[in-house]
């Protein structure tokens, strides 16, 4: 038996699977970030520890015989967070999360430094880890002086589980300290942000054992025998493992709170100027690239809040039949944007609202705006050489057939819908534990899920949506800088 832990921004999910990777049970616990100042987003790592303990105690009570046979644990975590430890392993301050923007000035400085993009393969975004530490050095020097280790959220959970400080390549690639091509810490990238290699965790591959579960935790959770804890993965890499998006030509589109277009890569081919993320994958010899928009279903959730209708009600008004683009345009930049603009100041908006505009028109425009923004991501990925042959559609927004067909038509790619079941980051983390424990090879374990349906592009409407996308693309340069 194996356990995958998905350490998310708003909660923890623990998934118990058998030796064939079939889910047997799961448990969830919620927690929330805090925002002590505008643009700040923090979490107390003690909340993660409490959530993991409660979830695994619940699994042990519900599945005692299966839990007794657990032989491997993998952790997936939200990326980029800075958890600072002193020489005793104590947490020095709340973890600064991925969606914290306080270090925008420091990020711009690091991004402009000689060789940084070339070594890291990425723009240094404000959400990355390196600028956070530069901010701490400047604004909390007494804390910075005591830092002996910086751990990402998943790596901190590894530390809690084993007492060892280790992290995987996929998560570490989002720090701006890793030479992503060489899969190793970069002395230059560390130096430019005032850090040292001895402050970094030991690097392992995501499917490689990093330590063993503490005996006291094993006893508490009803586990007998030695349990390995593998490197694990950043959340998107873990999701890719969960759906089998490992190699060239495989990938997925995620319509979640944020939106992601991810492509597996057989080699290292960065294109940082496009704001595409180029990261190590969670298994040896593989990389992945992704374009990210910050508000996908979050855009529909926003419209729900201001109209008083639930997201499901809004989707029902649009229906299931794709009938071409509307005249109303929507920019989904409610919290700024990453790919391809790297613009934390831009905000969203509607264009062409008229006296006859109805709520249904606004919903359709929101869905189209998100689809067009995801096409921006796909075009940036293609510019780096990535292939988007056939992709999975995952995330809450994929429950809308209209939205999936719209997205397939805008991207010009068939989108496969998996059968209902567990195939996300928690499953990916469990699969990494399976490989690390010798339960199978990467190719055998990281298989794609069964497909319920594949939705093809509506070719009769392709030209219309291409024209609408070209029109939509003119809005950003026209409004950039306006307030």
Which residues lie closer than 8 Å to 159 by C-beta, 6 or more apart?
85, 89, 151, 165, 166, 201
Q: Distance (Å, rounded) from C-alpha 402 to C-alpha 286? A: 34
Both tokens of residue 381? 């990925």
Look up residue 342 and give its DSSP letter: -
Ramachandran assignment for 39, one of left (phi > 0), alpha (psi -120 to 50 degrees), beta (any other)? left
State phi, psi for 345 to the nearest 5 degrees.
-95, -25
CA-closest candidate to residue 98, choices 25, 206, 175: 175
**Sign for the pseudo-dihedral over CA of 279, 254, 396, 370:** positive
Which are the catalytic amino acids? 235
Strand 42-43 vs strand 149-151: parallel, antiparallel, or unpaired? unpaired
Q: For residue 209, list its beta bridge partners.
A: 230
Task: Give the span between the Cα atoms of 90 and 429, in whole angstroms.
Answer: 26
Distance CA 92, CA 83 (A): 8
What burial class does residue 225 get, using C-beta atoms within 10 Å of its C-beta: 0-12 exposed, 13-18 middle, 19+ buried?
exposed
| Beta carbons within 8 Å of 54's beta carbon, 6+ residues apart | 27, 29
**Residue whose C-alpha is closest to residue 15's, from 99, 71, 73:** 73
Are the beta carbons of 63 and 55 closer than 8 angstroms? no
Handedness of CA 405, 411, 417, 422 (dihedral sign): negative
Give the C-alpha separation, 331 to 178, whole Å: 33
User: Residue 337: is the preceding peptide bond cis (ω within 30°)?
Assistant: no
């Amino acid at each position: 038996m194996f356990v995958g832990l998905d350490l998310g921004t708003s909660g923890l999910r623990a998934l118990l699977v058998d030796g064939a990777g079939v889910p047997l049970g799961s448990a969830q616990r919620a927690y929330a970030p805090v925002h002590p100042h505008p643009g700040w987003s923090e979490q107390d790592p003690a909340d993660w520890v409490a959530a993991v303990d409660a979830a695994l105690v619940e699994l042990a009570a519900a599945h005692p015989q299966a839990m007794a046979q657990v032989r491997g644990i993998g952790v997936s975590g939200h990326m980029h967070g800075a958890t600072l430890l002193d020489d005793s392993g104590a947490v020095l301050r709340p973890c600064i999360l991925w969606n914290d923007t306080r270090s925008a000035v420091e990020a711009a400085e690091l991004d402009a430094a000689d060789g940084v993009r070339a070594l890291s393969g990425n723009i240094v975004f404000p959400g990355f880890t390196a600028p956070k530490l530069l901010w701490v050095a400047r604004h909390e020097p007494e804390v910075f002086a005591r830092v002996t280790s910086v751990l990402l959220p998943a790596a901190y959970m590894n530390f809690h589980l084993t007492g060892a400080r280790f992290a995987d390549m996929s998560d570490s690639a989002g720090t701006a300290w890793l030479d992503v091509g060489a899969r190793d810490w970069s002395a230059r990238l560390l130096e430019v942000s005032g850090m040292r290699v001895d402050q970094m965790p030991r690097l392992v591959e995501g499917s490689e054992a990093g330590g063993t579960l503490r005996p006291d935790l094993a006893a508490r959770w009803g586990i007998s025998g030695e349990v390995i804890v593998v490197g694990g993965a950043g959340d998107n890499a873990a999701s890719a493992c969960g759906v089998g998006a490992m190699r060239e030509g495989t990938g997925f589109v995620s319509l979640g709170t944020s939106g992601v277009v991810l492509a597996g890569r057989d080699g290292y081919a960065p294109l940082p100027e496009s704001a595409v993320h180029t990261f190590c994958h969670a298994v040896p010899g593989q990389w992945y690239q992704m374009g990210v928009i910050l508000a996908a279903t979050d855009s529909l959730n926003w419209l729900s809040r201001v109209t008083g209708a639930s997201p499901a009600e809004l989707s029902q008004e649009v229906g299931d039949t794709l009938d071409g683009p509307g005249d109303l345009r929507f920019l989904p930049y409610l919290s700024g944007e990453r790919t391809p603009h790297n613009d934390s100041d831009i905000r969203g908006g509607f264009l062409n609202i008229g006296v006859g505009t109805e709520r249904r028109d606004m919903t359709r425009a929101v869905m189209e705006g998100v689809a067009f923004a995801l096409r921006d991501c796909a075009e940036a990925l293609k510019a780096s050489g990535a292939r988007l042959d056939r992709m999975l559609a995952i995330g809450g927004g994929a429950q809308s057939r209209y939205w999936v067909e719209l997205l397939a038509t805008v991207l010009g790619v068939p989108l496969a819908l998996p059968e209902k079941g567990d195939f996300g980051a928690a499953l990916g983390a469990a699969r990494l534990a399976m490989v690390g424990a010798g339960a199978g090879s990467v190719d055998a374990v990281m298989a794609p899920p069964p497909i319920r349906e594949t939705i093809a592009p509506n070719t009769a409407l392709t030209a219309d949506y291409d024209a609408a996308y070209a029109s939509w693309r003119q809005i950003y340069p026209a409004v950039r800088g306006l307030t």
